[in-house]
Structure 1
Amino acid sequence: MPNEIELKLRIAKEDIPHLRRHAAVRKHVTGKAVTRRLVSTYYDTPDLQLLDQHVSLRVRRMSGSWFQAVKAAGHSLAGLHQRLEWEDIISKGEPDYTKITDPSLTPIFDNPALWQALLPIFTTDMQRTEWQLDYQGSHIELSLDDGLLIAGEHSQPMIEIELELKGGKVEHLFALALDMQSDIALTIENVSKAQRGYAYYRDFPQKPSGAKPAGLMPGDEPGEAFEKAGWECLRQLQSNLSIAMQGDDPEGVHQMRVALRRLKVALSAFGCHDDMLSDEIDWINDLLSRARDLDVLLYDTLPGLRLTTDELRQAQAPIARAQKRAYSLLRNGLKQPRYQRLLLMLGHLFATPQPTKHTTITEIATPHLRRTHKKLLKQGRHLGKLSVEKKHKLRRLARRLRYSVELFSSIYPGKKPEKRTAKLLDALKHIQSNLGTLNDIAVTSQTLDNMSKRNPGLQPARLAWQAIAREREKRHIDSLPSLWKTVRQAPVAW
């Protein structure tokens, strides 16, 4: 059952000559480049049964021969595509079911009705140039595809690079991509050719994606656990990218921010301290934060104010303009090579075995949880006397402990630890929400104060907000002591 591992990247037409003579290619190539035409036809039933079962069936004409490939659904993160693939030589240019014998595929393909219903769905017609590279001891096949995707009367140009690992280490795919990306504006491609083709036949609505369990196990080695935690953060980050770019659903930006916060917690927990990486994460997080603050103001705060229709309209206009500018800056940032490089750096980090003196994940998790818990309790002493800045620090510590507990909770199995974890998480969520509201009040007040100086139409909204903010702030401050008591008394599982 072969596993295909490749890194996909988009490249502009005008950059192809730079790729052909790039130092990383010339230095590591082991033979002459091979250029040939690849015509690949994808088959499915009219109602797309194969798509629904997460497999693709492709027949390819290459160098005078026919090849059939079945690919099972895998995953793609930071451009790294990993999936199972079964490829066979066939005698003619149509699917041959006798070649599909793997036990994991026969439940799908051992079906005469399905074979009778198969028909060509879409085709890719590519000019492919391949280079075989020996990169730091790994065998990597670099492919440049330039051609068309054709689906019925529709067609679209496709140009992409594939770095396929033929033997060696996954980390070297990212290292090579980073080498090339330093000179060429390469963009990570998480969508396969098959996914692009199927998009002509079925909508794939994008939905905001929250965090999922990283799946850490008590017996995980530290490197394995670090990889799981990191890839999950990247999954959440990239799953919300297109939604954030579109700007129609504020949850996209919100979930990208959550992913970055969880990422920073994971990096800290595993002792990964890289100033350059941290600066890049902070850069994109700042762009997300500007958009998020204006989303909250426009969609949550303004509708709750006691304003006339005309006052509301006058308030919405300048905030909407500021929000539009913030999203424009965000889109530009997400399109920059700088952001693509950040993703490649993270992919390289999580694919690279990290040196550690620890032998089990518990040796990392327990001290980290204890330290973070201790810092939180210390910061919360004399809660009633804390300044706004120190309350903000307390909120960040509560969030850090919450994300740490959620990350590591699965390595403390059993009913008693699970009950303790549930109580602590519930307490942390409540105080984080309370302190978050207090922070939102401060941010909103400052934003309205600053914007109303330039936009007189915001004055009624600012005054209405001040009245609500005072009452809301008092209510949340009054409830803090009881919430903090619950946090202090919450049992821990470690």
Structure 2
Amino acid sequence: MEVELKLLLDPEHAPALRCHPLLAQYATGTPVVLSMHDIYFDTSDLRLCRQQAGLRVRRVDDDWTQTMKAGGTIAGGLHSRNEWEGPVDGPEPDLDALRKRMRGKNPWRALLREPEIRDGLRPVFSTRIERSVWQLRLPQGDAIECVLDQGSIISCEHSIAISEVELELKAGRADSLFELALALLQDLPLQVGQMSKAERGYRLAAGMPLAAVKAPALALDAFMTAQQAFQAIATHCLQHMLDNQAGVTAGDVESLHQMRVGLRRLRSALQMFKALLALPDELRRELDWLAQALSAARDWDVLAGDTLARLEEGEGGLAPLQQAARVLAQDYHGQAGRAVASPRATRLFLSLTRWLQAAGWRDTITSRQRLRLDVRVPRFARQALLRSQRRLLTRGKDLLRLAPPARHRVRIAAKKARYATEFFASLYDADEVKSYVKWLSVLQDELGWRNDNEVADGLLRALAEMQPDLLPQAAYARGFLAAQLQGGAGKALARPWRRYAAALLPSHVSIADA
């Protein structure tokens, strides 16, 4: 199993890495420089890619090597993958030799026997890379291979540049990769890398643009402890954020929304486990900073899009108002992109992953908290979901008569109840979860547009102050939104609230608490 941390580095900073004092201090010898030509193979319908596998043949000098990587996970930039490698005679893969290197039964060994694979492989893209390799031995004994790759990925007439650092663990603790990365980050503007060269090559070959990534379903094992469940949940949320990092940097609206969702889910998970463990204050402050960096762009996006789109045209039209809001949204997107691409954000992502990997909270908690962290997750899930349900039912009492600040607290409770349910959904009956989440979602939507109107009122007031010529349109829009709130506070909320209360999950999960 290959375990590596991938980092992106602007080519102009490559010389600074090559002469970095840490590499000189920890290197066991002089760096090795290799010129590599890789050819990636797949079928015309990308069968290997669809099975989360990549097959390449690499030439270094006159030697050819084939490598297949498949499966594995990515967590906070830490890539863990199955890897099989061996020599070949030339630029074509030898599937029989590759299968012999795979021990036991696994789906990729069987995959290589399929006629579609054996008869249909063809080159899809290639890379040309100059690689510099340092073998490092850290003071605590961990062995790490540091690799600097610079070059390009080529597919037909298209190409993209490559400049990245890979820290591969050869022996020792995985968190030593993060310690080294954080030390390098003090001098170099690194970013966490999410995509392998193979994934980037496939995107280039298929002409796939960057797209927002939604959080996949999370599957928890009923035999996990509460601590293991927390690590899985928090890592899942952090990975959701990182999956959208490139999109946010590129200014994609939906990617920013998804990163913000991932951040809110992470903070909700930390809140849910706060009686058992605590995030260090420094990391909590940095999460607050990132949330603030993302929220302004999202607020202006919603105003320029969904909120103003619900309004009927007033005298003079709303187009100038929408355009002004869009311009501000773009400005804030630029600020958010720069924040997410900054060394400060990289430090946050690396530090969070290291804290999660090393269970950094265990040194600061009591023995009673340790015992509670060691209980099986079904027991913890039952208690956590009951708390979230009680909180929402309490805050939502007399919902139709609540003032906006109290209604906002109901919305927050509904959101946290939904996140908690999604975290532990795999421990419940699927049909019960589906019904419960459905009415939670409807309730969130009804409360959500009301909150958007409240936020929009403040933004429109600020916009009119910045651009006084928009005062008439802003005043009209504020009046229209206020009328919507007054006219839509009753029946539309009553039904989802009743249906949510009827769909409450039972006080037990379907798996024993053993």
Length-normalised TM-score, structure 1: 0.87
Aligned-partner Cα distance in 1 for 2:97–2:289:
51
Q: Mark the CA change 1:265 to 1:119 in structure 2 (over 3 Å): closer, same or farther.
A: closer
Aligned-partner Cα distance in 2 for 1:377–1:273:
28
What's the CA shift for 1:284? Answer: 1.9
The residue aligned with 1:393 is 409
Aligned-partner Cα distance in 2 for 1:267–1:147:
41
Which of 172, 193, 197 pairs up with 1:168? 172
Aligned-partner Cα distance in 1 for 2:447–2:217:
25
Which segment is superposed worse, 120-129 or 181-190? 120-129
The residue aligned with 2:512 is none
The residue aligned with 1:82 is 80
The residue aligned with 2:385 is 369
Say whether the 8 Å CA contact 2:124–2:205 is kept in structure 1.
Answer: no
Aligned-partner Cα distance in 2 for 1:134–1:39:
31
Answering whether residue 447 of structure 2 is matched by residue 468 of structure 1, we say no
What's the CA shift for 1:237? Answer: 1.8
Aligned-partner Cα distance in 2 for 1:187–1:347:
14
Say whether the 8 Å CA contact 1:37–1:125 is kept in structure 2.
Answer: yes
Q: Mark the CA change 1:276 to 1:55 in structure 2 (over 3 Å): closer, same or farther.
A: same
Say whether the 8 Å CA contact 2:39–2:123 is kept in structure 1.
Answer: no
Say whether the 8 Å CA contact 1:234–1:259 is kept in structure 2.
Answer: yes
Aligned-partner Cα distance in 2 for 1:490–1:107:
44
Say whether the 8 Å CA contact 1:38–1:128 is kept in structure 2.
Answer: no
The residue aligned with 2:459 is 447
Deviations 1:336-383 (A, max 9, x none): 111122221222233223533232223433343344444334434465
Name the SS of the counterpart of 1:105 in structure 2.
Answer: helix
Say whether the 8 Å CA contact 1:365–1:408 is kept in structure 2.
Answer: yes
Which of 114, 128, 133 pairs up with 1:129? 133
Name the SS of the counterpart of 1:86 in structure 2.
Answer: strand
The residue aligned with 2:201 is 197
Answering whether residue 287 of structure 2 is matched by residue 284 of structure 1, we say no
Say whether the 8 Å CA contact 2:297–2:336 is kept in structure 1.
Answer: yes
Aligned-partner Cα distance in 2 for 1:226–1:395:
24
Aligned-partner Cα distance in 1 for 2:402–2:91:
74
Which segment is superposed worse, 370-379 or 93-102? 370-379
Q: Mark the CA change 1:371 to 1:195 in structure 2 (over 3 Å): closer, same or farther.
A: closer
Aligned-partner Cα distance in 2 for 1:381–1:459:
38
Answering whether residue 335 of structure 2 is matched by residue 332 of structure 1, we say no
What's the CA shift for 1:163? Answer: 0.8
Which of 218, 238, 241 pairs up with 1:237? 241
The residue aligned with 2:304 is 298
Aligned-partner Cα distance in 2 for 1:483–1:43:
52
List gaps (5 residues or longer) in structure 2. 363-369, 508-514
Aligned-partner Cα distance in 2 for 1:51–1:375:
45
Say whether the 8 Å CA contact 1:45–1:114 is kept in structure 2.
Answer: no
Deviations 1:218-257 (A, max 9, x none): 2112333223212321232233334434445x33222222
Name the SS of the counterpart of 2:112 in structure 1.
Answer: helix
Say whether the 8 Å CA contact 1:79–1:189 is kept in structure 2.
Answer: yes
Say whether the 8 Å CA contact 2:131–2:147 is kept in structure 1.
Answer: no
Q: How many residues align?
A: 487
List gaps (5 residues or longer) in structure 1. none
Name the SS of the counterpart of 1:218 in structure 2.
Answer: coil
Which of 105, 112, 120 pairs up with 1:108? 112
Aligned-partner Cα distance in 1 for 2:70–2:117:
21
Aligned-partner Cα distance in 1 for 2:84–2:41:
15
The residue aligned with 2:148 is 144
Q: Mark the CA change 1:474 to 1:268 in structure 2 (over 3 Å): closer, same or farther.
A: same
Q: Mark the CA change 1:63 to 1:270 in structure 2 (over 3 Å): closer, same or farther.
A: farther
Equivalent position amino acid for 2:293 in 1: L
Which of 331, 334, 356 pairs up with 1:350? 356
Aligned-partner Cα distance in 2 for 1:257–1:112:
41
Give the percent of matched residue pairs that are identical in Structure 1 and Structure 2: 31
What's the CA shift for 1:292? Answer: 1.4
Aligned-partner Cα distance in 2 for 1:459–1:207:
37
Say whether the 8 Å CA contact 1:54–1:72 is kept in structure 2.
Answer: yes
